[in-house]
Amino acid sequence: MIRLLLIILVALLIGTGLALGLQYDLGYIRISLGSTLIETNFWIGLAILILFIAVLMITLGLFRRLQQGSGMVAGWLARGNEKRARRRTTQGLLALAEGNWPRARKLLESSAGHADTPLINYLAAAQASFETGDHEAVDDLLRRAYESTPGSDMAVGITQAQLQLAGNRQEQALATLLRLRKQAPHHPFVLKLLKNAYVKLEDWRELSRLLPEIRKRNLIDSDEQGNLERLVWQNLLQRAAEDCRRQADSPTPSLEPLTRLWDELPGFLRRDEHTIREYARLLAELGDEEQSETLLRKVLRNHWSDELVNLYGRVKGPKPDEQLLLAEQWLKDRPNNAELLLALGRLSLRNELWGKAREYFETSLKLRRSRETMAELSRLNAHMGEGENSVKLLMQGLVKDSGLPDLPMPKA
């Protein structure tokens, strides 16, 4: 109320001032513009000036409001785009989870430009494209993912390597992972993926160089670590044996590639019965049965293994009689070991003790019906002139292993 009274009072004062001022002649205003001359009464000129200023201020005000209005419209439109992008991103991720790959890619890719996290959209769209087999689109979407977010090289690279491994593009995956490892030499997930790539490529030598880093950082559990190291070194042993075979026709054949690799093995693997068996088997195959027998004898004295004693019965040592005597000493501590009895039967054959061999085979069969033991006894019976018993034994084993039902048969 007071403010209104003040405005009325100011207006009255201004009106009174103007009324009084109009009674006096304050002259005129003359404006010359080139050849144009404008003359007017002072009060009219003042009124025109005030009107001009008022119009100018109103125009500027309207212009500012229009600018603010366009900004508000732009902001409103942007918020609408972001909201739609979030909704479409959610729909795309749901489609991806449901396995609707074409819809997932369409929704995720189209909303990436206005999404809060375009990197997620592009990576998920790349996954959907991979599932449809469109590898060119995968590469394009991964490139756009990298360009959309600074510092995303590692995330994009890991996704790319995973998709390449899943798509059996092993060489490309290896190249990607080696590049990532240069950037982050100890990145745990990169190391795990690199391990997978080497396994699929069967690059056992490079994998053997990677194993210490994997072990140091505990990237896989101890059982998997042991199985992986056993797999790697056994394959390397086999490849070394192949190198030895290629040298077999040379003037100076050598087992040096195999024995040198054995010396490189980690200590725990040289105590592992599966790896020892593989090495001893390869030595025997390559003609060095003496070294194979010596190794097996030393190991079996301190660490019993049915797997190793089976191989010991197959290997021909330099002194078969001593080999048989040693195995018979082991029998005193393990009288009911079917595997040892099978080995003793074979060692008896090596010493041409046919009757003893048959006894050992028969005793082993009573403890455990093994196809291997049955085949040995059947072969021995056939060579001892007992063909009928040999055939009968083979038939018993064949019937048992085939799981045939008990049915009536005609009498012979």
CATH number of the domain that residue 388 is part of? 1.25.40.10
| Domain CATH for 95 | 1.25.40
Amino acid 238: pLDDT: 94
- Residue 288, φ and ψ in degrees, nearest 5: -100, 65
Residues 349 and 283 placed together within one structural domain of the fold: no
Amino acid 46: pLDDT: 62
Average pLDDT by stretches of 10, the chain with 412 residues: 67 59 56 64 64 76 66 50 80 90 89 84 91 90 90 92 93 95 93 95 94 91 91 94 82 81 91 94 93 95 94 94 95 94 94 93 90 83 70 61 55 56
Residues 314 and 336 placed together within one structural domain of the fold: no
Residue 20 lies in a domain: no
Residues 347 and 374 placed together within one structural domain of the fold: yes
Residue 14 lies in a domain: no
- Residue 36, φ and ψ in degrees, nearest 5: -100, 135
Domain boundary among 296, 318, 340: 318
Residues 295 and 326 placed together within one structural domain of the fold: no
Residues 103 and 135 placed together within one structural domain of the fold: yes
Residue 36 lies in a domain: no
Residues 334 and 382 placed together within one structural domain of the fold: yes
Nearest to 42 by CA among 51, 30, 52: 30
Residue 335 lies in a domain: yes
Residue 117 lies in a domain: yes
Residues 298 and 330 placed together within one structural domain of the fold: no
Q: Which range of residues forms the domain containing residue 352?
A: 322-401
Domain boundary among 147, 177, 198: 147
Residue 262 lies in a domain: yes
* Helix (H/G/I), strand (E/B), else coil: 25: coil
When divided into structural domains, the chain yields a total of 3
Amino acid 59: pLDDT: 80
Residues 294 and 355 placed together within one structural domain of the fold: no
Q: Cα–Cα distance between 44 and 46 in angstroms, integer?
A: 5
Residue 360 lies in a domain: yes
Residues 104 and 131 placed together within one structural domain of the fold: yes
Residues 302 and 275 placed together within one structural domain of the fold: yes
- Residue 266, φ and ψ in degrees, nearest 5: -60, 150
Residues 287 and 331 placed together within one structural domain of the fold: no
Instruction: Check if the beta carbon of residue 253 is closer than 8 Å to that of residue 244.
Output: yes
Residues 286 and 306 placed together within one structural domain of the fold: yes
Residue 222 lies in a domain: no
Amino acid 245: pLDDT: 87
Nearest to 304 by CA among 279, 327, 281, 280: 327
Amino acid 76: pLDDT: 45
